[in-house]
Amino acid sequence: MFALPAAAQSADLTDYVRARAADAAGAADVAAQGYARALAVAPDDPVLALRAYRQALMVGDVPLATRAAAVMEKAGVAPPDVAIFEMTVALSAGDAPRAADAVKRLKGTPFEFLMPILTAWLAQARGLDGVAVLDRLETGALGRRYAATQRALMLIAQGKNDSAASEATATLASESDADARIDLAIVRGRDGGRSLLDGGGPELEAVARQLAAPRPATIGYGLSRLFATLAGDLTGERLSTLTILFSRCALILDPVDTRSRILLARGLSAAGAQALALQALDSVPRNSPFARRAASVRVAILRDLGHVDAALADAKALAEDRGATSQDVERYAAFLNAAGHYDAAARVYGDALRRGEDANPDLHLDRGVALARARRWSQALPELRKAVDLAPNRPDALRTLGAGLIAHGGDSAEALRLLERARRVAPDDAAVADALGWAYLQQGDVARAVPLLEAATQGDPAGTAANEHLGDAYWRLGRQFEARYAWRAAAIHAAPADADRIARKLSQGLTSAT
């Protein structure tokens, strides 16, 4: 049963319980509506307010989030990110004093590193020199990560297309951060921004084609880009709450920004609200320069939902599109591989190699693995050798080739050399330890095999292969009780193709099972 907020104990609990159930099911829109009704019944409950605040950010209900934030502030339990949200809302309403008060509340919180940038922008909005303020304040190492783009935007806002602004934009143009280049190109416009996007690949070329008149570098634009950058940095770090916060704040300041909407979708998906994430992606225009970025995120969400056929269809469309990148092709091949379509995956990896990626060891390794799984070892072998030639100290390539040679009756001496090299390169890699231990076991060297297989199971206690191999080694040493213990561990997560074999070993022993 859900734990209930204190104030809700004496109130009508129907809305709260339904909201919690919707929350658990990932139905953020239904949950937000339920929390809003429950908060109306118990308007001073901070626990209820926190839940309402989080759900409101997910669905974009700014009034509900504002009301919930006020309840938490009054109770003195507001999380630090509430100050960022309230500053954003104040700015969007043109209330600079209230925004400044919210910035002050970041002191002593994990977001204190943002204070110099926010303070500088607020000063610039009042007609002061924001760059001078930013340069005077101590940003710290983390703050400097974000200050460079913001400083350049402030210079452009001041109309300083002099050497200082040029130097700042040129420095950023040389970096790998494509979004920072786009941010600056938009405020410089068609004439001044194209040079920032040159050589940046298909997406930046598409942005360049759509550049228009320079966009004003206002505090709203600058901070929307700051928050979007933060959201992007936090995506994939299991911090979906903050990804949602920063992308939502970016959208409050710049409601039509496509990149922030894509980041919001990624955060919503990570939070379990995939349906809401797909809705966010559906709003991305087809002619947007970032439509392919949105489509890639959509494929990942469909895959996570278990909609394999839909994910494959979308991935195929991206890979076969005229503007497809090698990354699109690789992603499609990876999905085919994961879905068990090994022949098709090998063909698509081959297409990627023919697109000028022949020096890419990843593609040769992945194609070799797909071919091996498709039982086309003679074709897999040269791909795996090529991967090792291109990356001679890469442990997964060495392990895959070495283990493949052992499994298919190849040169055992070469296989051991490859696996021993992989072990030297990656002494803590459980998969490498398992492969080398198994190779020794196949050669009859049980004494050398056991310590490696034991190390492999310690590094990967749930690993099916390592536990099965260790059980085989123990059995050959006459340690039958320990062998069955290892096989039982192997059976826990065994795939159907392996489960029957392991079950026979458990019931009959190694001799009659192999």
- The per-residue pLDDT for range 319-363, each reduced to its tens digit, is 888 777 777 888 888 889 888 899 999 999 988 888 766 788 989
CA dihedral 49, 53, 59, 63 (to 10 degrees): 90
Nearest Cα residue to 115 out of 100, 129, 128: 100
Question: Per-residue pLDDT for the chain (514 aa), expressed as one digit of tens each?
Answer: 344 455 444 445 566 667 666 666 666 677 677 777 777 777 788 888 998 899 899 999 999 999 999 999 999 999 999 999 999 999 999 999 999 999 999 999 999 999 999 999 999 999 999 999 999 988 788 888 899 889 989 998 888 766 555 666 665 655 557 888 899 889 888 888 888 888 778 888 889 999 999 899 999 999 999 999 999 998 865 789 999 999 999 999 999 999 999 999 999 999 888 989 999 999 999 899 999 899 999 998 998 888 888 989 998 988 888 777 777 888 888 889 888 899 999 999 988 888 766 788 989 999 999 999 999 999 999 999 999 999 999 999 999 999 999 999 999 999 999 999 999 999 999 999 999 999 999 999 999 999 999 999 999 888 899 999 999 999 999 999 999 999 999 999 888 888 999 999 999 998 754 5
Task: Supply 8's token pair.
Answer: 């809700």
CATH class assigned to 393-514: mainly alpha
State how far the Cα of 456 lies from the Cα of 173, in Å rounded to an integer: 45
Q: What topology is assigned to 1-78 in CATH?
A: 1.25.40
Class of domain 307-391: mainly alpha
Scanning the structure block, which residue is given the tokens 């990656």? 426
Domain ranges in the chain with CATH number 1.25.40.10: 307-391, 393-514
Q: How far apart are the first and last CA of the chain?
A: 50
pTM exceeds 0.95, yes or no: no
* Contacts with 302 (C-beta within 8 Å, 6 or more apart), sequence order: 310, 311, 314
Q: Which tens digit of pLDDT belongs to each residue from 45-74?
A: 888 899 889 989 999 999 999 999 999 999
Residues 71, 75, 79, 80: is their CA dihedral positive or negative?
positive
